Amino acid sequence: MIFSSLLFIFWFMPVFFIVYYLVPMKLKNIVLFIGSLIFYGWGEPKYLILLGISILVNYFAGRLIDRAKRRNSTVNSTENAEEKAGGEGLGKPVLIGALAFDIGMLFFFKYINFFIDNINAVTGAGLSRVNITLPLGISFYTFQIMSYVIDLYRGKVRVETSLIDLGTYLCMFPQLIAGPIVVYSDVSEALKSRIISPAGVEEGLKLFILGLGSKVLIANSAGALWKELETIGYSALSSPMAWLGMLAYTLQIYFDFNGYSMMAIGLGRMLGFEFPKNFNLPYTSLSITEYWRRWHMTLSGWFKEYLYIPLGGNRRGPVRKVFNLFIVWFITGFWHGADWNFILWGLYFFVLLMAERAGLGRFLEGNRVIARIYSLLAIGFGWMLFAISDLRQLGVYLSRLFVGGVSNEILYYVRNYGVILLAGCLLSSGLGNRLYEKIKDRRLIVIPVLTGIFVLCTAYLADASYNPFLYFRF
């Protein structure tokens, strides 16, 4: 199920929230757990099994790590240091086993066909592809559950003894499918007890509606333009059309992803949870370094905490640091999709970040106008790497940006998409946030506006199913 659907808004929400608010606190987690399983299983019930296995494996791994640690601490107080190493040694293989399982599942379900294709291409081995579809949200929930076992091993969180509570953490429907990546330590306390306040519900609902509007009114509309360019075929695009397409995709992906995160954070608040912020006006950045501090913040945070720092971060000298960053960006790219263009996309940012560290950053600090143009172009080009998997097609698209010539079709597209793209530009520039700050205490403005956005979203979702037959069937 997805948030931006009539099914979620007018069936799942009323039924789920009525039950959730009516049951006493100690039953809320089980209601949330079951509700989340229905939410997840709606589209593809078979992958519920995968999710269930993941919960069980990590739950028991957690219990074993905890037992090893506790034995270790009692041993530590009475016996010598040699025994201590032995105690840790028991926790470590369990941790490694759990991580191997988690990464193995992700590898198999997301990347196996990529490797088969490439092995075939290089060796001509002719291995046959595995017939699997990517389980919904596996990239997200794998990272979330890994945060639990790693933090437990590090002693940063306490063991979760309730299978229901751990399951609730992992499956919680707001962030299960597309983030934000909520690490266990973010919500461990709220899982045990949380306050659901009317003010929190009101705030959460506001965020949900704003997110829904981002997704349905802006992202879908900009996405329609991008899709149309794909249909036309990149080789037939004029230069202005190619630039317009790049703008449309850049806006689509931000309003889509940020919209989804806002809906998740809003729903979380309605449930009594505080999820971390995921985006902070990334397109206002004046460098790529800054951009990655503002874009998908929970993912960058995860990679820093669970990959960059364990690799040694910047503590092992400059060469090792560059190597570590290379690994991080390689994997960041690869995490986004099992294709070469995603790896290229990750490494593209690695190169830009290195350049900024090497001196470009200092230059940009002194030239704000250039810095803004540079950042926006770098982000836009990046999205083209991201959007077009076929590297030959990517080359075609990029060349059309400069040598596509001009045709008057641009008039039609500017007329049809100009307003929404302009709105997208203004909102992603931070203007919308400043405006909202100004009016947010004026109920007479905010409430009608948000209600209006909600009604319009319903209208657009209803229209998506509207399908008159152009040719008479009767």
Partner 1 sequence: MFERIRNNTLTIIISVMILMCFAGYLANRDAVFSESENRYLAARPKLTPAGLADGSFMEQFELYTEERLPLRDMMIRLKAVTEQIQLKNENNGIARGKDGFLFEKLVKTDEQLNKNKAALVNFAGKCGRDINICIVPNSCEILEDKLPAGFPGVSQKSEIGDLYASLLTYDNVNTIDVSDTLSEHRDEYIYYRTDHHWTTQGAYYGYVRLCDEMGLKPVSMDRLSGKRRDVQDFYGTYYSKYKGYGVGPDILTYYDIPVSYYEAGGESHDGMYDTGKLKVYDKYAMFMYGNEGLATVRSMPDEGEDKRSELILFKDSYSNCLTPFLTYNYDTITVVDLRYYNRPVDELLGEHEDADILLLYNFMHYNEDNHFYRLVTNRAD
- Least separation in angstroms between residue 153's CB and partner 1 is 39
| Sites for partner 1 among residues 157-196 (CB under 8 A) | none
Only segment of 65-73, 278-286, 351-359, 464-472 that touches partner 1 (CB under 8 A): 464-472
The contacts of residue 334 (CB under 8 Å, 6+ apart) are: 111, 342, 343, 346
The token pair at 60 is: 């028991």
Under DSSP, the state recorded for 135 is P
Candidate ranges 184-192, 243-251, 298-306, 457-465; the one touching partner 1 (CB under 8 A): 457-465
Three-state SS at 202: helix
Burial of 80 (0-12, 13-18, 19+ CB in 10 A): exposed
Under the binding rule (CB under 8 A), the answer on residue 205 touching partner 1 is yes
Tell me whether residue 2 or residue 376 sits nearer to partner 1 (CB atom). 2
**Residues from 392 through 431 that contact partner 1 (CB under 8 A):** 408-413, 415-420
Q: How far is the CB of 408 from partner 1 (least distance, A)?
A: 5
User: Which amino acid is present at 100?
Assistant: A
Q: What is the rounded CA–CA span in Å between residue 460 and residue 216?
A: 7
With beta carbons less than 8 A apart as the criterion, state whether 180 and 264 touch.
yes
Question: Please, which residue, 84 or 194, has the CB nearer to partner 1?
Answer: 194
| 116-124, 186-194, 328-336, 460-468 -> range binding partner 1 (CB under 8 A) | 460-468
306 binds partner 1 (CB under 8 A): no
Number of residues that this document lists for the chain: 474
User: In which residue are the tokens 């979620």 written?
Assistant: 8
Residue 441 lies near partner 1 (rule: CB under 8 A): no
Considering only 22, 25, 45, 88, the residue that binds partner 1 (CB under 8 A) is 45
**Which span (9-17, 27-35, 92-100, 153-161) binds partner 1, by CB under 8 A?**
9-17
Q: What is the DSSP string of 268-337?
A: HHHHT--PPP--S-GGG-SSHHHHHHHSSHHHHHHHIIIIITTTTTTTTHHHHHHHHHHHHHHHHHHHT-
Distances in Å between the alpha carbon of 350 and those of 134, 353, 357, 369?
Answer: 27, 5, 11, 23
Which C-beta is closer to partner 1: that of 201 or that of 281?
A: 201
Q: Give the nearer residue to partner 1 in terms of CB position, either 361 or 432.
A: 432
In this chain, which of 24, 82, 195, 472 binds partner 1, going by CB under 8 A? Answer: 472
Show the binding pattern over residues 216-255: x = contacts partner 1 (CB under 8 A), - = does not. ------------x--xxx----------------------
Size of the site for partner 1 (CB under 8 A): 61
Task: Using the minimum distance from each CB to partner 1, give the nearer residue, 104 or 405.
Answer: 405
One-letter amino acid at 393 equals Q
Instruction: Kindly name the residue from 63, 227, 336, 372 that is annotated as catalytic.
Output: 336
Q: Shortest distance, CB of residue 437 to partner 1, whole angstroms?
A: 17
Tell me which of 19, 30, 31, 42 binds partner 1, using CB under 8 A.
42
3-state secondary structure of 339: coil
Complex with partner 1: residue 187 or 423, whichever CB lies closer = 423
Q: Which is nearer to partner 1, 14 or 310 (CB)?
A: 14
Report the residue number, 202 or 365, with the smaller CB distance to partner 1. 202
Interaction between residue 96 and partner 1 (CB under 8 A): no
- Least distance from C-beta 412 to partner 1, angstroms? 4
Count of CB atoms situated within 10 Å of the CB of 100: 11
Identify whether the C-beta of residue 172 lies closer than 8 Å to the C-beta of residue 131.
Answer: no
Contacting residue, 23, 75, 201, 307, with partner 1 by CB under 8 A: 201
209 binds partner 1 (CB under 8 A): yes
Scanning the structure block, which residue is given the tokens 């931070």? 430
Alpha-carbon span 408 to 397, nearest angstrom: 19
Choose between 7 and 100: whose C-beta lies nearer to partner 1: 7
For residue 419, the minimal CB distance to partner 1 (Å) is 4
Judge whether 296 counts as a catalytic residue. no
Nearest of 259, 58, 265, 230 to residue 151 by alpha carbon: 58
CB 241 within 8 A of CB 258: no
Paired tokens of 103: 């990464």
Q: Which stretch binds partner 1 (CB under 8 A): 81-89, 107-115, 173-181, 441-449?
A: 441-449
Place of tokens 């000298």: 317
Show the tokens assigned to 332: 């960041």
- The 3-state DSSP class for residue 379 equals helix
Sequence-ordered strand ranges (E) for 139-294: none
Q: Please report, as ranges, the residues that interact with partner 1 according to CB under 8 A.
A: 5-7, 9-11, 13-15, 42-45, 198-199, 201-202, 205-206, 209, 228, 231-233, 408-413, 415-420, 443, 446-447, 450-451, 454-456, 458-474
- Residues with a catalytic annotation lie at 336
